[in-house]
A and B are shown apart, each in its own frame.
Chain A
Amino acid sequence: MDTTMILALFTVLLWIILIDNLLLGIFLLIRAYQVKFNNLYSIGIGFVIIFVGLFGNLVLGYGSSVQDIFITIGYFFIGLFTYLTFHKQKVDYSSKLILYLIVIISFARILFIIARTIYVGPTTFYFLLVTINCHTFLVFFWLGWSSFSTYKRLRDHEIAPWIKMRYKIISVVSFFFPFHAISFFLIPWYSDWADPSNLLSFIQFAVTVILSLIFIIGMIIAWVIPKKLKNYLNRKKGYKPSEDRDLSENELMKLAQDQLQEADNHGND
Chain B
Amino acid sequence: MEMIKYLSIILAEEIKLSPSASSGLIRLAIKDEIGPFTPLHHLNLSDYKTSCENALRRRLSKLGVVNIDQIIKRLMIELIKNQSLATMEKF
**Residues of A with Cβ closer than 8 Å to B?**
31, 34-37, 39-40, 85-91, 146-147, 150, 153-154, 157-160, 163, 166-167, 242, 244-245, 247, 249, 252-253, 255-257, 259-260, 263
Per-position contact with A for B45-66: 1 when CB-CB < 8 Å, else 0? 1000100000000010011110
Q: Tell me whether chain B's interface is mostly helix, strand or loop, or mixed.
A: helix
A85 to B88, alpha carbons, bound, how many Å?
9
A39 to B17, alpha carbons, bound, how many Å?
34
A163 & B24 in contact (Cβ 8 Å cutoff): no
A158 to B5, alpha carbons, bound, how many Å?
8
B5 smallest CB distance to A (angstroms): 5
B58 smallest CB distance to A (angstroms): 12
Q: Tell me whether chain A's interface is mostly helix, strand or loop, or mixed.
A: helix
Q: B63, B64, B80, B90 — which one has the most chain A CB atoms within 10 A of its CB? A: B90
Q: Which residue of B lies closest to A147 (CB)?
A: B84
A90 & B80 in contact (Cβ 8 Å cutoff): yes
Q: B23, B25, B84, B87 — which one has the most chain A CB atoms within 10 A of its CB? A: B84
A252 to B15, alpha carbons, bound, how many Å?
15
B17 & A259 in contact (Cβ 8 Å cutoff): yes
A163 & B85 in contact (Cβ 8 Å cutoff): yes
Per a CB cutoff under 8 Å, which of A39, A91, A252 touches B24?
Answer: A252
A36 to B34, alpha carbons, bound, how many Å?
15
